[in-house]
Copies of this chain bind each other. A is one copy, B any other.
Amino acid sequence: MGTASVTSHGTDPAMMFASDNAAGTSAGIVDAVVAVSAQAHLAYGNDTVTASAGQRVAELFGTDVDLHCVSTGSAANSLALAALTRPWGSILCHRSAHIEVDECGGPEFFSGGAKLVLLDGDDGKIDPDEMRRAVRHRVGDVHSAQPQVLSLTQATETGSVYSLDEIGTLTAIARDAGLRIHMDGARFANALVHLGVSPAEMTWRSGVDVLSFGITKNGGMTTDAIVSFDPTLHDELRFRVKRGGQLASKMRFESAQVLAYLADDLWLRNAGHANEMAQRLISRLRTTAGVTVQGAAQANLVFCALPERVIDGLTAQGYVFHHGIPAPGVARLVTSHATTADAVDGLLATIEDLTTTTATDNPQHS
């Protein structure tokens, strides 16, 4: 059994377009983990690596922050939202938000039963008018959950990116109504690179109180992080993280990943590459007969409608990707730091080949 892990080779990276968290870990992050692996450190974050990580993140955002490394984005989102709302509060988010769609009620559990209120809007972005209505909904009425938090997903689930103006408009509406602001940054770096702005501009300077700082999807290994810009949440977050089962004893391994992720702009290079590969993919798909591209692919997600036989053909050839979401026949192709230009070109060539093939001589039927 000693070689069991070695015998698990996984999927050929050139065939993997299922998700950015299906990719491996950047070498720099692996090296950093190895570098601290033989060291002895006080547990539970009372170590020098964690102290350095906190300083580095504060430096990065240009302000004091509380950094909490947690093992999943779900934990980052749920703990952040629990700290920003009261049990009788409502959390305003887009209908497609991960906190509503993909966390099995984690935010409701951690918050003690707060309610998610779903807002509409194009391109996976909350419509400001929806927001204006929502923040006024039955305020002070004891029979109704009270609007307390705006949760923005940046980049969105559809691969779009809020501009600073769009963020500012929504956070201003929220602030004026007394709401706090959370940003789900599972793909924070992809959005940041797309906008070409600073971490400060896209967060606290735009009104964000607490950020779920995504690392795993962008070349990380086992950690994401909560970054709080609100010092009044300092103690609350410490206790919620601990009793939420997220205070790692060997924290130095999470902290070392954070340091390496931010070192030498690795995180920006990873996200830049993933975005570029998405552009490479979408630009040629736009000109591929039989393929209908959906959305702008401002980050690293590409959605396109494909003929069923093309989806079947890709699968038959070993490509791994999700389809049928949001609609039947729509494929979601995700690029990552590990996606090569050759892999993208190979996928494109296969799609083009399949789209020009008639169903009858579709290889999977032979």
Contact assessment for B248 and A71 in the assembled complex, using a CB-CB cutoff below 8 Å: yes
> B24, B102, B247: which contacts A39 (Cβ < 8 A)?
B24
User: In the complex the two chains form, what is the Cα distance from A114 to B52 in whole Å?
Assistant: 33
In the complex, A159 has a CB within 8 A of chain B: no
Q: Which residues of B contact A292 (CB under 8 A)?
A: none
**Docked-complex contact A247 and B142, CB < 8 angstroms:** yes
**Cβ-defined partner of A263 (8 Å) among B4, B18, B79, B103:** B4
Interface residue A213 (Cβ < 8 Å from any Cβ of B):
no
Q: Once bound together, how far apart are the Cα atoms of A10 and B108, in whole Å?
A: 39
Each complex incorporates copies of this chain amounting to 4
Task: Contact check, A43 vs B19: say whether CB atoms are below 8 A apart.
Answer: yes
Chain B hits for A112, CB < 8 A: 87, 109, 112-113
Which of B111, B246, B248 is within 8 Å of A245, CB to CB? B246
Instruction: Check A366 for interface membership: any CB of B closer than 8 A.
Output: no
**Whole-angstrom CA separation of A110 from B243 in the bound complex:** 9
| Beta-carbon contact of A105 and B114 below 8 Å | yes
Known: A16-B40, A33-B33, A37-B221. A245 touches B144 (CB 8 A): no
Q: Out of B6, B104, B338, which one reaches A40, CB within 8 Å?
A: B338
Contacts of A244 in B (CB 8 A): 106, 109, 244-245
Contact residues in B for A144 (Cβ distance below 8 Å): 101-102, 104
Cα distance A73–B71 in the bound complex, in angstroms? 13
In angstroms, Cα B241 to Cα A142, docked, is 9
Question: A249 near B72 (CB under 8 angstroms)?
Answer: yes
- For residue A94, CB closer than 8 A to chain B, the reply is no
Smallest CB separation, A60 vs chain B (Å): 9
Let me know if A200 is at the binding interface, CB within 8 A: no
| Minimum CB–CB distance for A13 against chain B, Å | 4
Q: Which residues of B contact A221 (CB under 8 A)?
A: 33, 37, 250, 253
With A1-B263, A244-B106 already in contact, the answer to whether A250 and B21 are too (CB < 8 A) is: yes
Q: Does A296 contact B (CB under 8 A)?
A: no
Stretch at the interface among A165-173, A232-240, A308-316, A348-356: A232-240
A8 at the binding interface (Cβ < 8 Å) = yes
In contact, A105 and B36 (Cβ under 8 angstroms): no
> Nearest Cβ in chain B — how far from A8, in angstroms?
4
A-B pairs, top 9 by smallest CB distance, nearest first, are A75-B245, A2-B263, A71-B71, A108-B113, A10-B39, A88-B239, A21-B249, A109-B113, A16-B40
14 new A-B pairs (CB below 8 Å) besides A110-B245, A142-B238?
A: A5-B32, A5-B49, A10-B36, A10-B47, A11-B42, A24-B40, A33-B221, A72-B245, A88-B105, A104-B145, A105-B243, A111-B113, A112-B113, A216-B250
